[in-house]
Amino acid sequence: MRIAIIGSGIAGLGSAWLLSREHEVTLYEANAYLGGHTHTHEIVQAGRSYAIDSGFIVFNPQNYPLLTHLLNELGVASQPTTMSFAVRNEASGLEYNATSLDTLFCQRRNLLSPRFIGMMRDIVRFYREAPALLEQDDDGAGPTLAEWLRDQRYGNAFRDEHLVPMASALWSSPGSDILRFPIRYLIRFMANHHMLQVLDRPRWRVVQGGSQRYVDALRAQWTVDERIACPVQRVQRHARGVCISSAAGNEEFDQVVLACHSNQALALLADADAREQSILGAIGYQTNEAVLHTDARLLPRQRKAWAAWNVLLPKQAEESRMVTYCMNLLQSLDSAEPFCVSLNSSHRIDPSRVLRRMRYAHPVYDHVSVSARARKGEIQGQRKTWYAGAYWGFGFHEDGLRSATEIAHALGIHWPLQAVPATALQNASSQRINHDAQRVSAS
C-alpha cells in the first residue's frame, strides 16, 4: 500500500520506520527538521561543541520498554542521568533540592520552619494515602487534583511548593492546568513511574550525544520519501483512498497516519465526521516557548540547590511558574556556564545569553480530554485513517512510540518480536487497537 504519514515526532518516526518495511511510505513534516520534540542543538562555546536537547530528554528502561528496545536495536547508546528536583520561591526566599537531606535543607533555617516541616509531613502523607486511589476506576471521572487536595486538607505549601511545581515540570504545563488534572489519572502516572515510593525508583537515562542520534539511526535504515518543510493543508478521504494536499501538490494514498497533534489532525480533515470532531476536538494542547540559554539567574541562588529540574515560583502573582532544566546535570555536560532550557521565561532571560528559541505544544489533561482518549477505538482505522500520537497516553515519548506500534500491528507489521511489558493503561489501549485490524480492508 501507499501510506502517507503526517508529522515526524516519535509517533510519525516510529510509524514510518515500521510501515516502510512492507509499504511505500511518504513522510510529511512542516518543520525544517525531522523529530518534533526530539530536537538536538549543536552549540559551540569556548571552542567546544555540545549537542543539547530541548524537547525529549530522559527515559528509563522500566517505563519506556519500547523506546529502550528501539535504541538497543538501532545500536544507539545511552548514559545515566539524574532526575533531581528543586524549587525556588521568590516571595519567601525558600529554596530546596529534594535529592538528599543536605540539599533538602540547604537553607538550614528550614529545619525550624513550621511551613516547611508541614510540607514534609504532607509529602510523607501523600505517598502513604495516594495509592488507595488506584483501586478506583480511571475513567476520567472523579475529583480534580485541586478538589482532592482541598477535600483531604493538604497544606498550601505542599500544593504550591512541591506537588504542583513537580507536575508542572513533568508535563511542561502551567500550574492552573495541573490543578485541573483528574486526580486518579495523575496518581496512576506517578504509580506507573514509581514516584509514590522512596526506594527502588527507576534509573533514568539520556541518549548519548543527544536524542538526534536515534533519529539519524532510524533514517539510515528506512526507505521513506521524506517531505521536510512541506506542510500538509488538507486530507480528503474518498472511496478509493485518501488525497493529501500539501505544498508539493495533491497525491493519492491508500491509507493515512495522522501523527500530528490531535487538534492539528482535526484541522486537516476536510470531511471530519461527528465522532472525529467529538474525540479529537476534546483533546486540547498548551503551547510553550522553550529557550536554550546560559543565564543562571533562572536557577536557585544557592548552587547546592541546583537540580536537573528547577521550578521558579515568581513573586508577582500574575506571573506563571517557570520551569528550567539544567542540561549540564541532565546530559553530563562540562562547560564554564550552565546550559539551561527554560519554559515560558523569555522575559526573565538576558537576551545576550539566549542560544535558541523554540515553541512546543503539550497535551492538556482534564476530565473531558481523559474521557475522549478512552474513545480512541471509535475512530482508529476508520475511513483509511489512523491517529498516532503521545496524546493517546500520558503525553510522553513511550506513548507516542506505542501508538505507532499499535497501528503497525493493526496493518500486519509486528514489532518488537518479543513481548515488551506495558502498564495497565497501555494494555487497555492495546486491547482496543486489536479490533481495528479487522476493519482495515472494510474501511
pLDDT band, residue 418 (cuts 50/70/90): low
Return the minimum-mean-pLDDT range out of 3-17, 291-305, 388-402, 406-420: 406-420
pLDDT digits (tens, 9 = 90+) for 157-184: 999 999 999 898 888 788 888 898 889 8
Are residue 151 and residue 231 in the same domain, yes or no?
no
C-alpha cell at 398: 513511550
C-alpha cell at 8: 515526524
Contact 333, 52 (CB under 8 A): yes
pLDDT digits (tens, 9 = 90+) for 116-142: 999 999 999 998 999 888 887 655 568
Please report the DSSP string for 331-351 in residue order. HT---SS--EEEES-GGGS-G
> How far apart, in whole angstroms, are the C-alpha atoms of residue 18 and residue 245?
24
Contact 140, 188 (CB under 8 A): no
Q: Which of 363, 382, 398 is the last residue of a domain?
A: 363
Q: What CATH number should be reported for the domain holding residue 387?
A: 3.50.50.60
**Is residue 342, in this structure, part of any structural domain at all?**
yes
Number of domains forming the structure of the chain: 2
Handedness of CA 340, 179, 398, 253 (dihedral sign): negative
Are residue 105 and residue 191 in the same domain, yes or no?
yes
> How far apart, in whole angstroms, are the C-alpha atoms of residue 389 and residue 397?
9
Q: Which of 363, 391, 423 is the last residue of a domain?
A: 363
Are residue 323 and residue 345 in the same domain, yes or no?
yes
As to burial, measured by CB atoms within 10 angstroms (0-12 exposed, 13-18 middle, 19+ buried), residue 363 is buried
Are residue 336 and residue 262 in the same domain, yes or no?
no
> How far apart, in whole angstroms, are the C-alpha atoms of residue 34 and residue 55?
13
**Is residue 72, in this structure, part of any structural domain at all?**
no
C-alpha cell at 197: 515510593
Are residue 236 and residue 352 in the same domain, yes or no?
no
**Is residue 239, in this structure, part of any structural domain at all?**
yes
Contact 161, 110 (CB under 8 A): no
* Residue percentage of the chain with pLDDT more than 90: 74
pLDDT digits (tens, 9 = 90+) for 57-96: 999 999 999 999 999 999 999 999 998 999 999 989 999 9
Are residue 100 and residue 177 in the same domain, yes or no?
yes
Are residue 88 and residue 138 in the same domain, yes or no?
yes
Contact 243, 236 (CB under 8 A): yes
What integer pLDDT is reported at residue 422 of this predicted model? Answer: 54
**Is residue 346, in this structure, part of any structural domain at all?**
yes
Which residue's entry shows cell 536557577?
299
What integer pLDDT is reported at residue 171 of this predicted model? Answer: 83
pLDDT band, residue 311 (cuts 50/70/90): very high
Are residue 216 and residue 163 in the same domain, yes or no?
no
Return the minimum-mean-pLDDT range out of 190-194, 352-356, 391-395: 190-194
Handedness of CA 382, 387, 391, 395 (dihedral sign): positive
**Is residue 62, in this structure, part of any structural domain at all?**
no
> How far apart, in whole angstroms, are the C-alpha atoms of residue 217 and residue 111?
50
Q: What CATH number should be reported for the domain holding residue 147?
A: 3.90.660
As to burial, measured by CB atoms within 10 angstroms (0-12 exposed, 13-18 middle, 19+ buried), residue 149 is buried
Residue 256, pLDDT > 90, answer yes
Are residue 338 and residue 417 in the same domain, yes or no?
no
**Is residue 57, in this structure, part of any structural domain at all?**
no
**Is residue 49, in this structure, part of any structural domain at all?**
no
CB environment 232-259: b (16+ within 10 A), e (fewer): beebbbeeebbbbebeeeebebebbbbb
* Three-class SS state of 241: strand
Are residue 402 and residue 268 in the same domain, yes or no?
yes
Are residue 300 and residue 175 in the same domain, yes or no?
yes
Contacts of the segment 421-429: beta carbons below 8 A, 24+ positions apart = 421/65, 422/65, 423/63, 423/192, 424/188, 424/192, 425/138, 425/188, 425/192, 425/393, 425/394, 426/393, 426/399, 426/402, 429/376, 429/392, 429/393, 429/402, 429/403
Q: Which helix (H) or strand (E) holds 191?
A: helix 183-192
Contact 105, 175 (CB under 8 A): no
Residues spanned by the domain of 304: 80-202+286-363
**Is residue 45, in this structure, part of any structural domain at all?**
no
Q: Measured over all CA atoms, what is the biggest interatomic distance in the chain, rounded to whole angstroms?
A: 73
Q: Which of 343, 363, 383 is the last residue of a domain?
A: 363
Q: Which residues contact 16 (CB under 8 A, 6 or more apart)?
A: 5, 8, 25, 27, 218, 222, 224
The number of helix segments (H) and strand segments (E) in the chain equals 16, 20
Are residue 300 and residue 227 in the same domain, yes or no?
no
> How far apart, in whole angstroms, are the C-alpha atoms of residue 289 and residue 356?
11
